[in-house]
């Protein structure tokens, strides 16, 4: 009977629409993950190979008129740059770091991390990494590089995971703002360091920071540190830029300039424990 229904041309789109809606509803239930696992086990190696190859093709296309050494050198330099930037973004000095540990209940020391390669970046504010269920990655795991927050795992399959960046419009985190020259202020505890609490959200232009206390002395260049219960770690997001100072408003707002360009990320660490 179904075969006969499929032969009727006008019924075909309606069958597809109903099937699509049913599948979407099904994927939101427990059956969804039961469907995902065998399919991802079968097809993810194909998709990962294709994405990896497309990345290489893109690199070659960009450096069409240059030698292959140029690509290798470029990638090496990008790695080094990210490494330097993530180390430079260390909150303050060791003394301040110790005081943060002593005063901050949210701070989690140690942990287990999985090194992941970034396969693709989407303008929507996601990156796709090459580690998944097999490596112990779960939805909600935080993704970092050095002391810098990269994002949260939003979807995971056997061999890969989707990471939602702070630039994604559905991202929203609680943060604290620390002075940019905090290491020069010796002997100050965390409470003394915090200039204001705020909320960061992903917008089309990047990362917006809002609800900064109107009387706080926050200025452009101050460090934005993530302090969110969902992450459980103090991690740097970036620096305050374009701070608005409207005397009529009840709070200040501005933008956060990330420590590094997310589209340049090559490797990240997923905190699995």
Partner 1 sequence: MLEILIGIIGLFVSLFLEHFLFALFGFSLFILIFLNMWGRVSSRFFFPFLLFLGISLDITMHQPIGLHILVLGVALLIYILFETFLPDDNSVSKYISMLFVFLLFYFLNAVLLSLLQDGIIPIFTSGILIKIFANSLISVLVSMLVGKVFSTVRDSKNYQSIRLR
First and final CA of the chain: distance in angstroms?
Answer: 52
Asked if 34 interacts with partner 1 (CB under 8 A), we say: no
Residues 139-168 that bind partner 1 (CB under 8 A): 154-155, 157, 160-162, 168
3-state SS record for 170-223: CCEEEEEEECCCHHHCCCCCHHHHCCEEEEEEEECCEEEEEEEECCCCCCCCCE
Asked if 201 interacts with partner 1 (CB under 8 A), we say: no
Residue number with CB closer to partner 1 (49 or 245): 49
Asked if 9 interacts with partner 1 (CB under 8 A), we say: yes
Spatial contact of 272 and 139, defined as CB atoms under 8 Å apart: no
Q: Distance between CA 230 and CA 251 in Å, rounded?
A: 25
What is the closest distance, in whole angstroms, from the C-beta atom of residue 161 to partner 1 in the complex?
8
Distances (CA, A) of 184 to 128, 137, 158, 238: 39, 39, 47, 19
The DSSP secondary-structure symbol of 260 reads S
Closest by alpha carbon to 15, among 24, 6, 7? 6
User: Total residues at the site for partner 1 (CB under 8 A)?
Assistant: 54
Q: Which of 109, 123, 215, 250 binds partner 1 (CB under 8 A)?
A: 123
The DSSP secondary-structure symbol of 120 reads E
Asked if 27 interacts with partner 1 (CB under 8 A), we say: yes
Residues 203-232 that bind partner 1 (CB under 8 A): 204
Q: Which of 58, 244, 249, 263 binds partner 1 (CB under 8 A)?
A: 58
The DSSP secondary-structure symbol of 110 reads -
Element (H, E) at 83: helix 68-88
Asked if 248 interacts with partner 1 (CB under 8 A), we say: no
Give the 3-state secondary structure of residue 131. coil
What is the closest distance, in whole angstroms, from the C-beta atom of residue 70 to partner 1 in the complex?
20
Q: Where does this chain touch partner 1 (CB under 8 A) — which range of 30-38, 64-72, 234-242, 255-263?
A: 30-38
Residue number with CB closer to partner 1 (51 or 257): 51
Asked if 263 interacts with partner 1 (CB under 8 A), we say: no
What is the closest distance, in whole angstroms, from the C-beta atom of residue 55 to partner 1 in the complex?
7
Can you give the binding site for partner 1, defined by CB under 8 A? Answer: 3, 6-7, 9-10, 12-28, 32, 35-36, 39-40, 42-44, 46-47, 49-51, 53-55, 57-58, 120, 123-124, 128, 154-155, 157, 160-162, 168-170, 204
């Amino acid at each position: 009977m179904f075969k006969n229904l499929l032969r009727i041309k006008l019924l075909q789109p309606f069958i597809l629409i109903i099937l699509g809606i049913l599948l979407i509803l099904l994927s939101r239930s427990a059956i969804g993950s039961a469907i995902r696992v065998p399919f991802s086990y079968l097809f993810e190696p194909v998709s990962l190979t294709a994405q990896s190859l497309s990345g290489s093709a893109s690199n070659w296309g960009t450096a069409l008129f240059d030698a292959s050494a140029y690509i290798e050198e470029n990638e090496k330099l990008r790695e080094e740059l990210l490494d330097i930037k993530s180390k430079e973004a260390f909150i303050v000095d060791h003394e301040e770091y110790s005081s943060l540990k002593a005063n901050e209940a949210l701070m989690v020391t140690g942990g287990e991390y999985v090194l992941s390669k970034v396969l693709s970046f989407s303008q929507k504010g996601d990156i796709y990494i090459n580690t998944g269920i097999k490596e112990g990655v779960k939805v909600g795991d935080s993704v970092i590089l050095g002391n810098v927050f990269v994002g949260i795992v939003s979807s995971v399959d056997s061999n890969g995971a989707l990471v939602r960046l702070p630039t994604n419009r559905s991202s929203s985190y609680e943060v604290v703002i620390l002075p940019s020259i905090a290491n020069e202020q010796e002997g100050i505890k965390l409470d003394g360091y915090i200039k204001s609490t705020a909320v960061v959200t992903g917008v089309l232009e990047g990362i917006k920071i809002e609800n900064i206390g109107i009387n706080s002395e926050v200025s452009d260049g101050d460090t934005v540190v993530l302090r969110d219960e969902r992450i459980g770690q103090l991690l740097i997001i970036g620096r305050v830029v374009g701070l608005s100072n409207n005397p009529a408003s009840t709070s200040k707002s501005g933008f956060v300039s990330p420590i590094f360009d997310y589209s340049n990320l090559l490797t990240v660490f997923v905190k699995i424990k």
